[in-house]
């Protein structure tokens, strides 16, 4: 039996009133909610001059407004973070300008004739440098250990930079003969470059601007290397001075075989001894950039005449030459200990025994 109001056999197929007849014009709930116009309720239409419909806000417009608000909030948060980063109460540590290098250059005058020989090997064999190592092999790095605030790698970096400076400023033939300065210069903290350049442009015996305080430098018009192999011996020590600073002390003796410039290659050679005591400082930027602040440079060199200006270049007394001794007798560049004299006498034990 069919239900009330329905034909006994049900609604005929294709007959009006079937469910499919209105499917194309029936709107689902999402379509209704999306409508831009909304009919007012009966109560709202009762008021005078009331419009029959209202315009509903576009969902896209609401989304745009939310997006703008979100962007503004993000911008405010970002600006606040930048402001607090710049004005935070702890502040950033101010960059510390390196101290100027303090330097002393002490000539050591021979007590008699400068020993010479046609054979460089004989000179070295009969001198205190007989057991010294050759070149950079004589600048040995000590065992490295971490400190309270610096890792073992950082301590090693400081020692390595100090060694590199010693090699470039004491062993490079181009630097020794005054043909180049770049290799030691690039190892200096940028804050000291003005002092370095001023020392070369306007040398002065003021304890601040002597090129020989920065590097070993001979007068190429008078002196030549008789042997490129320089004998070296000395020590390096590293220590932490505070949580931001490492310091390295070096004390090395360099022995050069020299002969007169522009003469027969068979001219007699002589030995020239330079003792360099340097003090380096490293902050964390220096360690990262492989650079150093050179704080103190003390140099003793001989045989030199005391009357010779040793600030710009070193002018050694060569084989068979003499000079009037001056200063305290018997200053030995092979010995340890501080020397403060402006000129000394080169100890006889420091010369080859020929």
Give the model confidence (pLDDT) of 61-106 as tens digits.
555 777 777 778 888 887 777 766 555 444 444 556 788 999 999 9
Looking up tokens 């790698």 gives 153
Sign of CA dihedral 339, 343, 345, 347: positive
| Residue pLDDT, tens place only, 265-315 | 678 999 999 999 999 999 999 999 999 999 999 999 999 998 888 999 999
d(CA 14, CA 26): 18
On the question of pLDDT at 168 being above 80, the answer is yes
Residues 247/279, Cβ–Cβ less than 8 Å: yes
pTM of the model: 0.71
Which tokens go with 144? Answer: 């490295």
According to the model, what pLDDT value does residue 90 have?
Answer: 43
On the question of pLDDT at 336 being above 60, the answer is no
According to the model, what pLDDT value does residue 259 have?
Answer: 95
Q: What is the overall mean pLDDT for the chain?
A: 82
Q: Among candidates 277, 157, 170, 310, which has minimal Cα distance to 232?
A: 170
Q: Any idea what DSSP says for residue 128?
A: G
| Residue pLDDT, tens place only, 137-153 | 999 999 999 999 999 99
Range name among 15-19, 33-37, 216-220, 229-233 with the lowest pLDDT average = 15-19
Q: What is the mean pLDDT of residues 5-14?
A: 54
On the question of pLDDT at 183 being above 80, the answer is yes
| Residue pLDDT, tens place only, 28-41 | 566 556 555 566 66
d(CA 271, CA 231): 10
Looking up tokens 């010369």 gives 351
Strands 133-134 and 223-242: antiparallel
Give the residue with greater pLDDT, 195 vs 5: 195
Give the residue with greater pLDDT, 331 vs 89: 331
Give the residue with greater pLDDT, 75 vs 173: 173
Q: Which residues contact 47 (CB under 8 A, 6 or more apart)?
A: none
Residue 11: which pLDDT band, with cuts at 50, 70 and 90? low
According to the model, what pLDDT value does residue 29 have?
Answer: 61
**% pLDDT > 90, the chain:** 58
According to the model, what pLDDT value does residue 36 have?
Answer: 56
On the question of pLDDT at 199 being above 80, the answer is yes
On the question of pLDDT at 13 being above 70, the answer is no
Give the residue with greater pLDDT, 347 vs 213: 213
């Amino acid at each position: 039996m069919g239900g009330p109001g329905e034909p006994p056999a049900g609604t005929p197929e294709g007959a009006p009133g079937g469910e499919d007849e209105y499917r194309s014009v029936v709107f689902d709930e999402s379509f209704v909610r999306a409508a831009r116009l909304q009919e007012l309720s009966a109560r709202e239409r009762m008021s005078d001059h009331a419009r029959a419909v209202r315009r509903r806000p576009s969902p896209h417009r609401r989304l745009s407004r939310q997006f703008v608000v979100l962007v503004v909030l993000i911008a405010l948060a970002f600006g606040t973070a930048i402001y607090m980063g710049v004005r935070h109460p702890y502040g950033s540590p101010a960059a510390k300008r390196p101290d100027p290098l303090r330097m002393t250059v002490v000539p050591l005058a021979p007590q008699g004739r400068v020993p010479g020989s046609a054979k460089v090997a004989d000179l070295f064999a009969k001198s205190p440098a007989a057991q010294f190592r050759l070149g950079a092999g004589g600048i040995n790095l000590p065992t490295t250990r971490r400190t309270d605030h610096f890792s073992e790698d950082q301590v090693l970096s400081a020692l390595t930079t100090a060694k590199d400076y010693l090699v470039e400023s004491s062993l490079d033939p181009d630097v020794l003969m005054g043909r180049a300065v770049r290799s030691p210069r690039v190892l200096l903290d940028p804050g000291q470059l003005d002092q370095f350049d001023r020392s070369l442009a306007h040398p002065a015996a003021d304890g601040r601007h002597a090129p020989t305080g920065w590097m070993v430098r001979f007068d190429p018009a008078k002196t030549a290397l008789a042997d490129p192999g320089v004998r070296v011996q000395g020590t390096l020590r590293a220590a932490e001075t505070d949580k931001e600073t490492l310091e390295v002390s070096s004390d090395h003796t360099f022995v050069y075989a020299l002969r007169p410039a522009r003469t027969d290659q068979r001219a007699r050679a002589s030995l020239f001894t330079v003792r360099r005591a340097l003090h380096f400082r490293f902050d964390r930027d220096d360690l990262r950039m492989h650079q150093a602040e050179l704080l103190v440079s003390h140099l003793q060199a001989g045989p030199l005449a005391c009357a010779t200006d040793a600030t710009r270049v070193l002018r050694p007394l060569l084989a068979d030459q003499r000079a009037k001794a001056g200063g305290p007798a018997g200053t030995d560049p092979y010995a340890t200990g501080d020397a403060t004299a402006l000129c000394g006498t080169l100890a006889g034990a420091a010369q080859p025994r020929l």
